[in-house]
Amino acid sequence: MNGSLVNEYPGFAPMGDSALMVIAGESISSDINQKVHNIISVIKKENWPGIKEIVPTYSSFVIHFDPITFSMEGLIECVKNIWDSDTNFKDTNTRTVLIPTLYGSDCGPDLESVSELTDLSVEEVIDIHSKTDYLVYALGFSPGFPYLGGLDSKIHCSRLETPRVSVPQGSVAIADSQTGVYPVSSPGGWRLIGRTPVVMFDPNRSSPSLVTPGDYIRFVPLESKDEYTNILEMSAEGKYEVEVQ
């Protein structure tokens, strides 16, 4: 299947008696993801009763609702009725968040293997990875983890055969056609090519995640470990503000 929207959608998958997955497609596509956000924006504007939370993914979203207020069948019918809405989620407030990143060495232990697998120099890998503005499709699998689309096919790499037990907080990684940032230390199987000193997720902030779906991220290479350490210390003290365009 290509990235276009096709006639069999929306698809629906009940998740228990109080959550409904609405499927807009099956691939990683900016068009499909745009449709996801379009429909979510319509639901929020119409303020449907009993809706507790809506969680977007690449190509679907899950509606958590009160089954006493809203029946599963009624919810499905309502989504079908607004599916062809031409509401445009995009607006002039789209943000591009610049994420300073130190590539390679102990911050990016898999950068050399990516270089070998792609038959590119380390410098070429860094240049390709850092020249793209990546759309934040969704947040998961750990709090604030941004799934980013738009990775250049020249640096597509498979996941590690054996995942790491612990990936350091701030690690910038790639896997297949995706790139992302580990906001907290966690297990993971993506290839680590760098690390950011910026705190991507802080539960004590008014907005815990630094980015939200619909934002863009641009990785900005740092020149030295000293520069990385300086930003890390400022971030720990709450004194560093990321640049937003």
Long-range CB contacts (within 8 A, 24+) of 145-148: 145/180, 145/181, 145/182, 145/183, 146/180, 146/181, 146/183, 146/200, 146/209, 146/211, 146/217, 147/58, 147/178, 147/180, 148/178, 148/179, 148/180, 148/217
State percent of the chain over pLDDT 70. 94
Q: What is the pLDDT of residue 55?
A: 87
Q: What is the pLDDT of residue 133?
A: 95
pLDDT band at 7 (very low <50, low <70, confident <90, very high): low
- The per-residue pLDDT for range 49-73, each reduced to its tens digit, is 999 999 888 889 999 999 999 999 9
pLDDT at 143 over 60: yes
Domains 11-82 and 96-236 share a fold: no
Of 21-25, 90-94, 117-121, 210-214, the least confident? 90-94
CATH topology of domain 11-82: Gyrase A; domain 2 (3.30.1360)
Comparing 38 with 65, the larger pLDDT belongs to 65
Section 171-177 average pLDDT: 96
* Cβ-count burial 155-186 (b if 16+ within 10 Å, e if not): bebeebeeebeebbbbbbbbbeebbbbbbbeb
Comparing 205 with 1, the larger pLDDT belongs to 205
Cα gap 109→115, rounded to integer Å: 11
Query: What are the domain boundaries of the chain?
Result: 11-82, 96-236
Q: What is the pLDDT of residue 88?
A: 58
Query: The domain at 96-236 falls in which architecture?
Result: Beta Barrel (2.40)
- The per-residue pLDDT for range 234-243, each reduced to its tens digit, is 998 889 999 9
Q: What is the pLDDT of residue 160?
A: 96
